[in-house]
Copies of this chain bind each other. A is one copy, B any other.
Amino acid sequence: MTTGEGPKSRSRTAPGRQDWSSWPHYDGAAQGFRGYWYPVTWSSHLTGKPQPFTICGEKITLIRDGGTAYALHNRCPHRGVPLSEGDQQFPGTVSCPYHGWTFDLPTGRLSAVITDGPGCRLTGKVSVRTYAVEERLGMVWVYIPLADEEPHPIDEQLPEELVSNPFVMGGRIEPRGGNWRFACENGFDEGHAKYLHRTALWRLFKPMPTWNVTRIVPRGRWIYRVQDEVHWEADFPGVGHWSNKRWWKMQPPKETFNIGNTGKADSINPTIEAQDFPGFASLSMPGVLRIVYPNFIHYEFYVPVDADRHNYVGVMVNFTEGWSTLRFYAKYLGAIRWLFHGQFSGQDAWMVDVTDAPPEKLYRPDVSLTSWRNLSEEEYAKKLAGTGADSSAEKEA
């Protein structure tokens, strides 16, 4: 009997680091990195009826009042009843369903207690935590603070090209099983796409490569995957030949070496130049993936719910205006939504749900994973230094 990586023999046959102790902040961020903006729900779904959400393990209620979205900690301080079970009794407030404790939406302050009359002594002296809210890309975003700090402007965190260019978009928000870090690592993972997605309908007529040589290139707050080599087939000695080429699929480019930045898009629109994107796929904190196609950019936001669940937010953006937006909507609703945001992305969801690491045994293409972990470790350390908050805040979260 041959032994392998069983409990007793692991250290013998699988050398090298297998846990995440090299990235302590990352290791501790099972419920997400605090100190960032996260997309929570579609703006069009938010009304005057409060709704409950969990982000980074934190229970939040969102409500719209007078056109503005507000976020409060979803727990009445009186007896712990979720405010999302309540409703609005007065403009600009939300009331707990149990005893009518009424909170001012902008400040969270207790502004009236219906069942204690106007003389209630707690009025103005008790409050629930509020969260900063913004609306971008048709979604409501909430800032989950490290401590009590002011949030940074959301536009500093959004992909730069989304801040001031006109665009049309389509997307999905989908609750998924598995830790958000597995989802994020899966998204940027250079190795899996070619193999896991080889059966995706999205790639029905286009072959996937067999293996690549990839570099990770940092630029600003993003890291990019740059393909140096793309191999469309391979002979594995003593095992066999493997290729995703098929007679009915398009012919791939000839075996290529040192292809440099060929993964990049030629042009997204007149104002966004291709050289802005040194690679096809890029990633930034707190878990934002950008895939640049010739005519679209696809984004994935991995939003931590708790240690076991996350929300997948997939958005396809076309930087265009006027009549040509119609072509985008037709394409999105007719194909992208079902093939790409649906079946293709469902294969990722399947893997994210069954991934179980650490322990793990990384291989060469996992440079994309370790680069991301390094990035997150550094960016988060910078943030902690910047806010004066120390890592105990993170642990408390």
Which residues does A use to contact B, with CB under 8 Å? Answer: 1-9, 13-14, 72-73, 75, 77-82, 85, 89-91, 93, 97-102, 106-109, 111-118, 120-122, 125-132, 143, 145, 147-148, 150-151, 191-192, 194-196, 210-211, 231, 234-240, 242, 350-351, 354-357, 359-365, 396
Contacts and interface: CB of A to CB of B under 8 A. Distances in A.
A235 B112 CA distance: 10
A50 B283 CA distance: 35
State how many copies of this chain the complex holds: 3
B93 A5 contact: no
B234 A356 contact: no
Contact of A117 (B125, B211, B356): B211
Contacts of A211: 114-117
Contacts of A109: 2, 4
A210 B4 contact: no
A148 B240 contact: no
A210 B101 CA distance: 13
B148 A8 contact: yes
A363 to B, nearest CB: 6
Contacts of A191: 99, 115-116
A19 to B, nearest CB: 12
5 contacts: A13-B126, A78-B360, A78-B363, A116-B211, A117-B234
A46 B290 CA distance: 43
Contacts of A3: 108, 127, 129-130, 148
A359 B77 CA distance: 8
A109 to B, nearest CB: 7
> For A89, A115, A143, A350, which residue has the most chain B Cβ atoms within 10 angstroms?
A115
Contacts of A6: 73, 129
A89 B196 CA distance: 13
Nearest to A366: B78
A75 B351 CA distance: 13
Contact of A1 (B82, B97, B131): B131
